[in-house]
Amino acid sequence: MDTSQKHPQLKRSGDGQDGQSERPVACITGASSGFGLLMALELAKAGYRVIATMRDTANNGLLLRRAEEAGVAERIDCLPLDVTDHPACEETIAHIRSAYGRIDVLVNNAGMAIGGSIEEIPMEEWKRQMDVNVFGLIAMTRAALPVMREQRRGTIINIGSVSGRVGFPGYGPYAASKFAVEGFSESLRLEMLPFGVHVVLVEPGAYRTDIWSKGFDHMTARFREDSPYARFLGAVLRYSRNVARTAGEPQDVARAVVRIAGSRYPRLRYPLGRGAALSIAGKTLLPWKWFERLLLRELEKGD
């Protein structure tokens, strides 16, 4: 297959012309907004050749503008990729390999959050949640593994969540997807260490990105006053809006990812943010019955 036909951007890019990049190469999924966009910028600033993939490259305006301002635009290539399209995941990795000859870092960042009551969320929504957050991440990882294994070098950074450590009420599908990412990453870490490939879980608490408003819109659109869960979901929405308002700066996560990418022997887990540290410590240290009482009391308080 002529990989340059589908992704002509790769042929045009500076140091990829001879199929070898002198710079380390980082590929990011979901780079049109939020963490993905900021990670693309920070990795480029740190000297990486960045392959910023996104569902629709028409949405690359903000990334490219900020990259221009930072003087790193020529280090970033934008490629179209919907991670639920598994053949496209393989093609993307094949394109990167043929254009740059290496993949040093894969950041599996693309994700979305579906909330609501477990009883009322339709199965199609559960599947969509898993397709993006779990199977998309697995497809990208599987595509990159042979390259990294043969290089005997590479870091796979899976953007998990504190929701992969604690299952918060009202976000059952999201928690299920992020718990799946945790188990997958633990197994993969142990499988790949003998090949010199490191697998890392970044577990942010709440940070100010679009994921919140997208999730709220989705929950509000399905909200029904006559639902037996109406009061509970109202509390979840109030609580989440408050958390979103006081959430941390996503830039901190992007900078942490750059540090992890450059680490010679990164840890398996990096919980990020005060909320994540508190929730994980609470779950680890307290008897579950105390912990659940605390969580539900917080939810009832709302704000």
Q: How far is the CB of 227 from ligand NDP (least distance, A)?
A: 25
Query: Could you list the residues that contact ligand NDP (CB under 6 A)?
Result: 29-30, 32-36, 54-56, 59, 82-84, 109-112, 132, 136, 159, 161, 204, 206-207, 209-211, 214, 247
What amino acid occupies position 270? Y
Element holding 198 (H helix, E strand): strand 197-204
DSSP state of 272: E
Residue 15 Cβ vs ligand NDP, minimum distance, rounded to whole Å: 26
Is 77 or 82 the residue whose CB approaches ligand NDP more closely?
A: 82
- Residues in a beta bridge with 272: 204
Residue with Cβ nearer ligand NDP (100 or 207): 207
In the bound state with ligand NDP, the residue whose beta carbon lies nearer, of 13 and 129, is 129
CB nearer ligand NDP, residue 54 or residue 145: 54
Q: Report how far apart the first and last C-alpha atoms of the chain are (Å, whole number).
A: 56
Beta strands 105-108 and 25-28 are parallel
For the question of residue 270 being annotated catalytic, the response is no
- In whole angstroms, the minimum distance from the beta carbon of 106 to ligand NDP comes to 14
User: ∠146-152-158 over CA atoms, to 5°?
Assistant: 65
Residues β-bridged to residue 49: 25
Please identify which of the residues 48, 171, 174, 207 carries the catalytic annotation. 174
Contact assessment for residue 159 and residue 134, using Cβ atoms and an 8 Å cutoff: no
CB 133 within 8 A of CB 111: yes
Query: Which residue is at the shortest CB distance from ligand NDP?
Result: 34
Minimum CB separation from ligand NDP for residue 89, in Å?
9
Q: How many residues does the chain have?
A: 303
Pick between residue 100 and residue 171 the one whose CB is nearest to ligand NDP: 171
Residues catalogued as catalytic: 174
